Structure 1
Amino acid sequence: MTDRILTTHAGSLPRTPELTRLLVARDQRRAFDQDELAEVTASAVADTVRRQLETGLDIVNDGEVPRVGFSTYVLERIDGFGGAGHRKPTLDSIKFPEYAAFQAKQIVEGADVARVWDPPVAQGLLEYDPALAGITEDLDGFDRELAAQAGRGLAPAGTFFSAATPGIVSTTLLLDAANPHYGDDRAYVFALADQLKLEYDAIVARGHTLQLDAPDLAMERVIQFGDATLEEFLAAVDLHVDALNHAIRDIPREKVRLHVCWGNWQGPHQDDVPVDVLLPHLYRANVGAFSIPLGNPAHQHEAPSFRAHPLPEGAVLIPGVVDVTTNYLEHPQVIANRILEVVDAVGDPTRVIAGTDCGLSTFASYEFVATDVAWAKLGALVEGAAIASRRAFGA
């Protein structure tokens, strides 16, 4: 029990240009210096953990800075992928061609950009690295820096560590139709669940809350399922929730939080599926907290949905109250107002943790908010939560 509203964020934080260059080179299978990558990564993790604590965030992570992307990092850990796929364009890009042209000017696909829209596909039998080398290295780096900061008298109220869900991997790294091992999406997504379970268990064994990144449960309505019916999309949502439940079957639900979003690009988002349609399906997940964006113009109005669809017993809501697609810096009072609207809908301030809509750097080279503004937003989040706490708890 707490007497104030805690703060956290959705996972990814800004990387340095040096780290981005090295991660993208590795992702593109170009030459890079492994020792330099290790050194730059360690420095970035140290800086990211320190800055979170100095900013005043309560529940922190490693910023996902060692990874090239929140979902495609699994290519470094799971064998069976190859070639190149082609993800569908968003409905935003299809329905707003001038917007699509505008966006294309912002990021030019090429050697200096992570593979987001044309990543490899599942061609063979999936097998997670039995040595768990990648996840162990990441966890070691995070734990080492937490210990270093504790030596300075800085300790978080809690920690979390992100991992991709079977569903987002299956809709990003598509199943090759010629794959002889998996005959359909169900077989593929459950195979991913079996492999990713190794990573999930390793995270929880270190004492961190597992954050499952599952934007597929909302975002893919306007990408992979853009030409499908709503019923077909919701059937896929249920399948993906079943798969993630299978993967976390040995983990207490209070040690898992689920992040769902509609994609963190700055666009129309007019075809996003409403949150009240999703909640009955999301609540089937055996998790203790739900991280859902409510800080952007397309979804801020949906906070009352949590009154109509109360949280599962004992569950916590982590509303996004900071927009991660714009360099506008929210005033702390605006953030406080958003938090208080959510508290009013949920009915209990102890079941609300203030967060961001999504990550601030979901893929290396795909940052849309400047680094200094990103950190200023997190500072405003802390201030806004303090204002809301005084109102909500009468302090």
Structure 2
Amino acid sequence: MKHSNERILTTHVGSLPRNPVLSELLIRDEAGETVDKAALAREAEAAVRHVVAEQASAGIDVLNDGEQPRVGFQTYVAQRMTGFGGESKRPRSPDYTKFPIWAAQTARRLDRRAKVTNAPQAVADVVYDDLTAAQEECRMFRAALDGLAKPPVEAFMTAASPGIIATTLLNAHYDSHEAYVFALARQMRKEYELIAKDFLLQIDAPDLAMERGVLFQDKSNAEFVKIAEMHVAALNEALAGIPPERVRLHCCWGNYEGPHLHDIPMREILPVLYGARVGGLSIEFANPRHQHEYAALRKNKLPDRFVLLPGVIDSLTNFVEHPEVVANRICEAVDAVGDRSRVIASVDCGFGTFAGSQFVAEDVVWEKLKACREGADIATRRLWGKAS
């Protein structure tokens, strides 16, 4: 994983907006409707080329395929692995009960999207024997990268953590939640190792924060931390064969525009994140609910082995951050870490976590990524005292 040795590098979290045609095909395919698979493959490949080119044009240094071939950032595994069926009954955040007017408005905005609360569940032993879809996604991404006039500083691809799979595709088969999580870890290891051969691997693990207010909303913070530690132990087992410096971990409190009154404080989960066998941590810092969280980093310093990928761009609003604001956020992150080389400017979360579900318009997304680059250039001049 590259460091910001000469200037502040930029990246994002993973998912990017899918065009309406691709989104509709992915949603219909997930629903079991008859879909022209060749057309779906063509749309996905064209979309990958498009988002890769847009990232490069915006000046993003560490880019990815935008998760274009996937129906959802974690629910895609139900289409790649066997052992899933039926329908999960995933609970919702207490926000949906406390704020019914907001909940109704949100439902109207998301009336046609991929499965989330009703995703399949584990009904038999989960097995990941066919890596064809993952291999094809890697091929599409590599082809898009090869088509760029200039290669990026680095390229990454995301994969769901065992914990977020287990808390979304619920368990209706294993004797315990822990047994299910470790079973998923053993199977997801295959995808992790495949990705890490060619790209940086990003593990998407919102379960390490978000699930305190969702599946485990009846637990205390201390009880949740114990569960999160178990999730990290399973993840570490899955990552055992991959050098930590080839892996970055994304953690968030849920990528939805809502009150977030029940989010667990970062100070409670930071020690858990530090236990992960990774080289980089991607965490929200830009949205209004978590802009203050640098205080936790100052009290519990980022270990030397980690790079921080702070969110300096909000993934849920169509406001385009002013580059000076972005630069201020980057410099605050550097101050908290104490080392400019170990900070890579990023986004809070994905811009298209599920097909049919995005809060920021595509043309605004590219402008936000440009603002990230411009803000990083300003921060570079401040931190290095030179032109970027």
Partner of 2:11: 8
Counterpart in the other structure of 1:127 = 127
**Which residue of structure 2 lines up, in the alignment, with residue 200 of structure 1?**
192
**What amino acid sits opposite 1:146 in the alignment?**
L
Per-residue CA deviation, residues 308-361 of structure 1 (Å, 9 max, x unaligned), is 111122210000011111111111111111111111111111010000000000
* Identical columns (%): 49
1-side partners of 2:304 and 2:378: how far apart? 27
Of 252, 267, 275, the match for 1:284: 275
CA distance in 1: counterparts of 2:365 and 2:225, whole angstroms: 33
Distance in structure 1 (CA, Å) of the matches to 2:304 and 2:322:
33
- Which residue does the alignment assign to 1:23? 26
SS in 2 for 1:367: coil
| Pairing 1:163-178 to 2, within 5 Å after superposition | 163-176=159-172
Which amino acid in 2 is paired with 1:305? A
Instruction: Letter of the 1:168 partner, please give it.
Output: I
Q: Which residue of 2 aligns with 1:143?
A: 142
Aligned mates of 2:38, 2:349 — CA distance in 1: 31
- The Cα of 1:293 is off from its aligned counterpart by 0.4
Q: How many residues align?
A: 383
SS at structure 1 position matched to 2:330: helix
Shift of 1:113: 2.0
How big is the shift at 1:102? 2.1
Contact 1:304 1:342 in 2 (8 A): no
Stretches of structure 1 that go unaligned for 5 or more consecutive residues are none
> Which piece of structure 1 moves more, 311-320 or 282-291?
311-320
> Aligned pair 1:392/2:383, yes or no?
yes
Deviation at 1:26, TM superposition (A): 0.6
CA distance in 1, matches of 2:181, 2:321: 38
TM-score (structure 1 length as normaliser):
0.95
- SS of the residue corresponding to residue 102 of structure 2 reads helix
Deviation (angstroms), 1:390: 0.7
Distance change (3 Å), C-alpha of 1:144 and 1:15 = same
Q: Does 1:160 align with 2:156?
A: yes
Structure 2 segments unaligned to the other structure (5+ residues): none
Q: Is the 8 A contact 1:321 1:357 kept in 2?
A: yes
SS in 2 for 1:301: coil
Superposed counterparts of 1:318-333, under 5 Å: 318-333=309-324
SS of residue matched to 1:319: strand
The 5-angstrom pairing of residues 240-279 of structure 1 reads 240-279=231-270
Following the alignment from structure 2 to structure 1, what is the Cα–Cα distance between the partners of residues 216 and 352?
A: 25
TM-score, scaled to structure 2: 0.97
- CA shift for structure 1 position 101: 1.9
- Note if contact 2:203-2:248 (Cα within 8 Å) is conserved in structure 1: yes
Shift of 1:77: 0.9
1:248 aligned partner, one-letter code: L
Pick one of 87, 94, 103 that aligns with 2:90.
87
| 3-state SS of paired residue (2:366) | helix
Determine the C-alpha separation between the residues in 1 that align with 2:155 and 2:384: 24
CA RMSD of aligned residues (A): 0.9
Displacement after TM superposition at 1:92 (Å): 1.1
